[in-house]
Amino acid sequence: MIDMLYEYFKSQNFNVKRGMNNVHFNGTMKRRFNSKGSEVYDLYQSEEVRALPFDYPIVGYSNASDFPVLTLRIWSTKDSPRNFSLQRFNAGDTGTASENTCLTDVLYPNDNHETGKRIRLKQEFLLVTASLQDIINEHLALYGDMELFADKVRIQINDTHPSLAVVELIHLLMHHHEKSFEEAIDITRSCISYTNHTVLKEALEEWNVNRMKTLLPRQYEIINKLNEYFIRQIKKKFPSQPQKIEELSFIKNEQVKMANIAIFGSHKVNGVAKLHSELLKNYVFKDFYEMYPDRFTNVTNGVTQRRWLLTCNPFLSQLISEKIGYDWILDFTKIKKFGDFAFDKETQERLLEIKKLNKKHLIDQVGPLLYERYKNQYDADYTPFLDVDALYDVQIKRIHEYKRQFMNALHILILFYELIDTNTPRATKRMFIFAGKAAPGYELAKAVITFIYCLSRAIENHPLARNHLKIAFIENYNVSKAEIIIPAADLSEQISTASTEASGTGNMKLTINGALTIGTDDGANIEMKEAVTEAFWPFSFGASAEENIQMAHNHSYQVNDLIESNPLLSRVVNALIDGSLAQTEDEKKALKFLHSSLVDGVYGSPPDRYFVLNDLMSYYQTQKKVETIFENPNLWAEFVIKNIAGMGYFSVDRSIDEYAKKIWKIEKMPMDLNQLAKVKKEYSEMDQCRIY
């Protein structure tokens, strides 16, 4: 029944349109006092945008007939004709005339220009206030007033982008629900908690004071008032440390620091892996941790085994179920039993055969797309993939310096040089798969993609190398493509600079699908290694988080000395500027930019700020170990089975349970059958969905 319903839901469009919420930008404020004597501001001559909600049902998994269906509420500004400014259009200002209709078209618009910054701030606020208004309206419909709001509502801020929720909830509580300033702060803190997803200072969102003051005048006024309130608390907590005010303040150098607001307005702040949470406490938010030591906690990420194993890898799922039963689908800790079959030859052989079937599926699904993309650049014998016996080495994630796709590509260049120098076939064929997107304004990430393309072309044009090494960069990466790539992976590349990756979830998805990990001790890799045990986690490499932090702090990393002392490093670095890989002027410019990032530094940062070359030789030697084990298929399968069996902790079921217990303080409740009947009836009456 579940499978039939899943296919049915997939085939339909269940975006059910609801009412709408009004969102206001710009305008002139007029001060008044609410019934509690707190200052509030009415807004006149504002720019009104209508946010229309659409409900999308998320079908749960259950062995029972009363399976859960949650609602994902998404927002659109395109569907309201009033969001289009005909007056501006007729005046010839066609660009801004449609600005508000486009606010929900592209998530995180490019913000390296003023228009992009304005649209991004408007988008973030629209999604925040529309959702908060909706939450409040639903609460009032259920309970009639706001007295129980702090007990009944829990809001999780996912990174800094929705941090305006703190400010906007305080505004709504004071302006529309007659709460005092202090009451609004207390209620907001009871409701909101903040999950941080980055340790990179530059990724902690900030907004220019003038931009926020113009677009969101009421919210900016509240931020100022909150800042004054908070500074008084700081002075009381640290009377002899005035420098704390500058570090903790919401406004610094004419920038509004959104992470600071999120921490202030939350009752809990969590990282998403043990190392990440410790880095937040000891480095990133050290002053806040001293201010609120009980507020910080950890909830390690997890993934859903029902999508990332049961659905996307049916052959492996069937093998696991045959060996240990079906309980693992709802209780992933049961996957541990699969480890009992690690030394069973029959299980090993079937596992290896399943991996080949999944590689064949990848080739069949993605191969034609790549062939059409590149067929005119190569001769008639061009094929996008090596055969299924090759080692499929996969790095799929957004393109970023700290994730070090660059290091992966430099290693491939080393292997290419080894092959052409010796003119000898490789014992292990390597199929390198990249997928991911670069932010539109992130030129260095785009340069990495260019380098990967240039390297792929050089390999493809070499008559020996093309049969032993191959690169596939799979464009327009998304979940659907991940579901095809991940089951086919032999090796999972989790090679971020230690101390920079918050957690990762791709590492977990790849492991439960039978890929071994080559990785640094970063993010959740550390906990995964502990769960699997070091004996079956053989491909760790690189400097530790503490070593990298100390090198950065002490400025002790001398990359140019490292290059000069190592001919292999010198050769691959020089290849970026010697013309052997780049052909067009744009390619030469991109590769020169990468070269500069290593030897000179870019964006005002020191040379090789993510220690690519510092770890490259360790990475290179560890990759040799990968090939040694891969050449013994049954030994490889033994490691794979032990890795899968060790992943029971990394289920989203455990993560959600920890959020519920540690952060939201809520308990599991049986399904309300009356509410279920009501929802079924409602969807049925919409005439877009039938649940039998």
Active site residues: 197, 397-398, 403, 505, 509
Which helix (H) or strand (E) segment is 584 a member of?
none
Name the percent of the chain in helix, strand, coil, to the closest 5. Answer: 55, 15, 30
3-state SS, one letter per residue, for 139-173: HHHHHCCCCCHHHHCCEEEECCCCCHHHHHHHHHH
Planar angle of CA 499, 502, 504, nearest 5 degrees: 120
Tell me the torsion sign for CA atoms 583, 586, 589, 593.
negative
Kindly provide the residue ranges of all beta strands, DSSP E only, lying in 445-530, ordered along the sequence: 469-474, 491-494, 516-519
Do the strands 47-59 and 69-76 form a parallel or antiparallel pair, or are they unpaired?
A: antiparallel
Around 423, how many Cα atoms within 13 Å sit in the side-chain half-sphere? 0
Contacts for 97 with CB less than 8 Å, ≥ 6 apart: 84, 85, 86, 88, 89
Please report, as a single letter, which amino acid is at residue 419.
L
Query: What are the structure tokens assigned to 391, written together?
Result: 């080692």
**Tally of residues, the chain:** 692
DSSP string, 281-306: IIIITHHHHHH-GGGEEE----B-HI
3-state SS, one letter per residue, for 518-547: EECCCCCHHHHHHHHCHHHCCEECCCCHHH
Q: CA–CA distance from 655 to each of 114, 133, 194, 279, 663 (Å)? A: 38, 28, 15, 20, 11
- Report the distance separating Cα 601 and Cα 605, nearest Å: 5
- Report the distance separating Cα 81 and Cα 101, nearest Å: 8
- Report the distance separating Cα 638 and Cα 346, nearest Å: 11
For the sheet containing 192-195, what is the strand order? 155-158, 192-195, 269-271, 296-298
- What's the burial of 243, exposed, middle or buried (CB within 10 Å: 0-12/13-18/19+)? exposed
Query: What are the structure tokens assigned to 666, written together?
Result: 């809520």
Which helix (H) or strand (E) segment is 642 a member of?
helix 633-645
- Give, as one character, the DSSP assignment of residue 386: -
Q: Which of 160, 178, 126, 175 is nearest to 264 (CA)?
A: 160
In which residue are the tokens 């959104």 written? Answer: 258
Phi first, then psi: give them for residue 250, nearest 5 degrees.
Answer: -75, -20
- Report the distance separating Cα 10 and Cα 15, nearest Å: 12
> How far is Cα of residue 593 from the mean position of the Cα atoms in its chain?
26
Query: What are the structure tokens assigned to 109, written together?
Result: 């618009």
- Give, as one character, the DSSP assignment of residue 496: P
